[in-house]
Amino acid sequence: MAAVSAAAARLLVLSLCVAAAALLRGGEASVHEYRGLGFLNKGNAFILHAGSEGLYAPPPVPSPANATAEDDEDSAAALADAFIRFDKITFRRPEDAAKETGSAMVQILVFEIEDREMIGGSAYGGQKAICCTSDLAKLGACTEGSVIYQPSKVNPGWPQLFVASFDGSDPIATLPSRVIPITKTGMYNMYFIHCDPSLAGLEIEGQTVWKNPTGYLPGRMAPLRNFFGIMSFAFVVLGIYWFYQYMKFWREVLPLQNCITLVITLGMLEMALWYFEYAEFNETGVRPKGITFWAVTFGTVKRTVARVIILIVSMGYGVVRPSLGGLTSKVVMLGGTFFLATEILELVENLGTVNDLSGKARLFLVYPVAILDAAFVVWIFISLAKTLDKLQARRSMAKLDIYRKFTIALAVTVLVSVGWIGYEIYFKSTDVFNERWQYAWIIPAFWHVLSFSLLCVISHLWAPSKNTMRFTYDASENFDREDSLSLIRPGPIGSKNGWNLSSSPDTKASKNITVASFDEDDEENKRE
């Protein structure tokens, strides 16, 4: 366990650096802002990835009978329910380069992911080039220095190419504001490209706005707004059940049940905050970072507390042992490390991503969380095995029954989790270009449903009731009440004069035996 914690701590330190860099570069999702970004040299082109989002096409609207093709295009751009809009895109080159080079251009390429094979070309069947070479220009396939692309066969008018030109020695080139209507559902990509090495140090300012028919939420995130609304309602129903039981039997409430109350409350707050965060995001296109931060934090606290509760319940806290003893510091350390790692991962994922494409930073940050989660699982099942053995040895049948049900629920949850992780790996490895983006929301939604289901099981097993005290640790008894009479009552005792006498056990002796037994168990707990 110590080795696992040390490995996770080392990964966590590295993760902090990645997280800080990602958050400083935080994006605004559907409103993509370009400031302080540089072009990367790829082959014979200099490229800046400007955005990738899944966009739904609105239902078709019939045009007037006397409308021309140009009228249709203008009206579609003006009234589009789904579009990509350029707002004040400006390119600035160094003044020295402007005087030496003269005229130059930056090209903006927008295409749907199915048309990716239409981008680039090769003169003799070699590696594809993005910018037109002299050999391709001689063949008449393109104009030298321009981006190579072919018209789509299934999506007329796409890919779309726009040009911002530097005239003479002018250091600034501006792309006129315009709207690209979306008429086909798909994953759309945008790249800023230039083919001139003299434009090194090119700076860009401005933004693009991407909109779906239902609002500004990116396509893969749009269904999650309704999902979080449903989950909020589900938590309210669970909360009503739990708080009714809590108020009805408040005199019998245990510390463990107070912890479950905290988890349910945090879950209600988390789901409500996520719903309002998505609703605000959908209306404005700008992520409300304050709401997002608190939604992430409440969710992380809930997951951490839930894991710690499951761990201490598995250890038998309050059932077969009065305290955790020397294990308390280890449980707190594991829980604190898990909270920090998960908080960083969730903040980077929800505040640091700009596009629908997953970044390498998120993949790197997953490792510490996965290691710590595995440590929780291993420790929980080792502790459960010991607790079940103790309950079996003491013939505590009522407690043993509830722990068996708890173990089955945990085992099913772990098996389902492992199966879903396998499916998630398969899903992402076979969808490199995010062509199945419309179903990507199911992956994060599943984890919320699974954790909620386990919380419902725990709430049912440990709900406050008139029999709650039957499951508490009692140092004055070695067995449950229902078993004690049959196990402690002695048989007939023969007297010296031959009479058979039936005698009750010596109270003081039985108490001494019981205390000695539990003292031995306490020593065992301390050693653990």
Q: Which fold has domain 29-59+77-211?
A: Jelly Rolls (2.60.120)
**b/e map of 151-160 (b: 16 or more CB within 10 Å)?**
ebeebeebbe
- Give backbone dihedrals phi and psi of 191, rounded to 5 degrees, phi first: -130, 140
Average pLDDT of the residues of the chain: 79
Best CA proximity match to 331, nearest among 302, 303, 308, 305: 308
Question: What is the rounded radius of gyration, in angstroms, for the C-alpha atoms of the chain?
Answer: 33
Q: CA–CA separation, 210 vs 526, rounded Å?
A: 60
Q: Is the pLDDT of residue 63 over 80?
A: no
User: Does residue 125 come out as left (phi exceeding 0), alpha (psi in the -120 to 50 range) or beta?
Assistant: left
- Give backbone dihedrals phi and psi of 250, rounded to 5 degrees, phi first: -65, -25
Give the three-class secondary structure for 39. Answer: coil
Considering only 164-178, 240-254, 502-516, which range has the smallest mean pLDDT?
A: 502-516
Per-residue pLDDT, averaged over 278-307, amounts to: 93
Please report the pLDDT score of residue 155 as a whole number. 86
Per-residue pLDDT, averaged over 261-290, amounts to: 94
Considering only 217-221, 229-233, 360-364, which range has the smallest mean pLDDT?
A: 360-364
Give the three-class secondary structure for 329. Answer: helix
Best CA proximity match to 377, nearest among 326, 452, 310, 300: 310
pTM here is 0.78
* Owner of token pair 């809930």: 302
Please report the pLDDT score of residue 481 as a whole number. 41
For the chain, give every domain's residue range: 29-59+77-211, 219-480
Give the three-class secondary structure for 83. Answer: strand
Give the β-pairing of 31-34 and 83-92: unpaired
Quick: pLDDT tens for 326-356: 788 999 999 999 999 999 988 888 886 545 4
Any idea what DSSP says for residue 120? -
Q: Is the pLDDT of residue 44 over 70?
A: yes
Q: Which CATH class is domain 219-480?
A: mainly alpha
Task: Provide, for the chain, the percentages of residues in helix, strand and coil under a 3-state DSSP scheme, each rounded to the nearest 5.
Answer: 55, 15, 30
Q: CA–CA separation, 230 vs 152, rounded Å?
A: 40
Residue 193 one-letter amino acid: I
Please report the pLDDT score of residue 467 as a whole number. 67
Please report the pLDDT score of residue 279 as a whole number. 95
